[in-house]
Structure 1
Amino acid sequence: MPPTSFFINNNNDSQKALHLAHVAVIGGLHLAPISSDARILDVGTGSGIWSIEMARSMPNSKVVGIDIINPPPYPNQPSNCLFTVCDATKRFPFPDHAFSFIHVCYFSLAVHRGKWKKFLEECRRITCPGGWIEIHATDYQYHRTGGSGRMVNWNSQMLLGKMNDAGYTQIQRQVYTHPLGSWSGPVGSVLRDCCKIRLNNLLVPVARFFLSPDRIIELENCITEMVEEANDMRSYYHSYTYVAQIPEDEAVEGIGITF
């Protein structure tokens, strides 16, 4: 399956709203205990807003955002942030130990489930000893949705075992609940609206490869009904954050990146 950026318009205010809601739920831009001068790679940067915010909040850091297309130009983009086109499902065009922090957010659909170990090993290759990786994922399971949600849900991809296999240590897993609807306040309203846009921009294009036109119409109607039901049903979904470290005694000091 192609990376999700093929299906999502990066020049979309919904991505900014989703980013702000995500930050509100987890309580910040990141959880890993990184230094103020970290060398950061944002994999699947999408709209680029996370990279921009990290660079602004940590002016001594170096932030690189990669995706299969560049985000739209940002006014007053920080000098310590750059974007480059890169297919993250292949070998990274970076030397060993180039970064001290790898950030991966909602990228699970871009990596085939059989290639997660290889992807994580490649992330490990470009992370310096003692560096960190942080992965944010969702199981795309919407709970308390009523009948309309049953056609929308699909299976999750578990990462803990894959990270163990790839040699990461100090692996931590956090589970967050994302409410859908005004029943939980402004954040829930934003997440509900983003949910509809995301499903229509991602799930429907993928489903066109497998479903008849009549079934596509049914799916689109189910998405609309599920979102409309969200407030009465008090719907929600879970996201998972995995934080892990590269062993500090491994290999040599990172060589870094140059801006």
Structure 2
Amino acid sequence: MPWWLFRRRVSKGVGGSDPAAQPMRRSVGEVALPRLRGHRRYLDEQPYLLPKDLGEVNRLDFQHYVLRTLLRGNYLAPIEQPRRILDVGCGTGQWAIELAQQFPQAEVIGLDLLQVKVSSSPPANYRFVKGDVLDGLPFESNWFDFVHQRLLFLAIPLSAWPGVVQELVRVTSPGGWIELVEGSSSSSNFAPAGPATQQLIGLIGQLAALRGLDSEGQVMRSLDRYLLEAGLINVQRYPIEIPVGEWGGRLGSLMAIDVCEGIKAISAPVAARFGLSEQEVLDLLDQANHEWNELRTSYSLAVACAQKPAAS
């Protein structure tokens, strides 16, 4: 049966939890279009820190290729022949489209607040669905064999993470797998970090904290705990260090470009919040970029995957 016959309306908070425990969000159908601020477009009424525009589309596709190179593939979970795959916070949809091509027998869905890029010839087994995991996923329980979520630490409030993981578990089929990939806006994720790096990432962390986002790397450190507390088994965690800068060869150079473009994308909000000019933020970024090569800096990521117990 087609997937849309199994949509459900979510009338409570994430995972159907008590609305008093988690603030209600307006429905995703009411999410405002990105609003121009400076020369970038950002979503209003959302904790998401990064813009939603063509520049961010290009960066996200670039970041996808960096991560695929790093992981030597698109995932680490030991999946075999999934029938249904869900990518939560799919961004440009590139990861999901590649999974649809890899598993042509599977139905693959990319979910996000907005469809920021429309592929001219997507695989027939790929679909985009507008949705917000903070409002609950618009799918029936026990439906997907593989659920993937990547780099939403600048999108999901820290307090919402346990409930979000519970919601991912709800839609995962018994015996299916969940994979989470996360980093952090904490300066401790850059090691060693010079003074410009610490100052710049510290400003970003403060801005994230003001929006209720994780500013100290708690999410990245807690991925396996979230999965265990949600009742999953075969939990595996993979800490990953990525070189940042030309000192790290091709991968390091690519990662430095991604980090720089990500910071440029939020330079205007950072400058506005802390009384700086945008050029001052960009100058700080230039100094940090030099530090990465001088100090041979690496950035920390974590991948965690786990399996939902088979039905008894």
Runs of 5+ consecutive residues of structure 1 not aligned to the other structure = 251-259
1:149 partner amino acid? T
Between the aligned partners of 2:137 and 2:249, the Cα distance in structure 1 is: 41
User: Which of the numbers 256, 276, 288 marks the counterpart of 1:213?
Assistant: 276
* Residue 113 (1) aligns with residue 158 (2): yes
Between the aligned partners of 1:6 and 1:220, the Cα distance in structure 2 is: 16
Between the aligned partners of 1:54 and 1:10, the Cα distance in structure 2 is: 23
Shift of 1:5: 7.3
- After superposition, residues 170-181 of structure 1 pair within 5 angstroms as 170-181=234-245
Greater relative CO, 1 or 2 (CA 8 Å, sep 6+) = 1
The C-alpha deviation readout for 1:158-206, integer Å capped at 9, x for no partner, is 222222222111111001111111212112111101101112224x355
Shift of 1:249: 2.4
* Residue 232 (1) aligns with residue 294 (2): yes
User: Which of the numbers 260, 285, 289 marks the counterpart of 1:196?
Assistant: 260
Aligned residues: 248
Runs of 5+ consecutive residues of structure 2 not aligned to the other structure = 1-44, 206-215
Q: Indicate if the aligned counterparts of 1:45 and 1:51 stay in contact, CA closer than 8 A.
A: yes
User: Which of the numbers 77, 92, 105 marks the counterpart of 1:60?
Assistant: 105
* Residue 122 (1) aligns with residue 167 (2): yes
The C-alpha deviation readout for 1:141-174, integer Å capped at 9, x for no partner, is 2222321111214410222222222211111100
2:263 partner amino acid? L
User: Which of the numbers 200, 222, 247 marks the counterpart of 2:309?
Assistant: 247
Q: Output the aligned Cα RMSD.
A: 2.1
Between the aligned partners of 1:42 and 1:5, the Cα distance in structure 2 is: 20
1:150 partner amino acid? Q
* Residue 131 (1) aligns with residue 176 (2): yes
* Residue 142 (1) aligns with residue 204 (2): no
1:234 partner amino acid? R
User: Which of the numbers 15, 19, 37 marks the counterpart of 2:60?
Assistant: 15
Shift of 1:138: 0.8
Q: Specify the SS of the correspondent of 1:89.
A: helix
Between the aligned partners of 2:164 and 2:82, the Cα distance in structure 1 is: 25
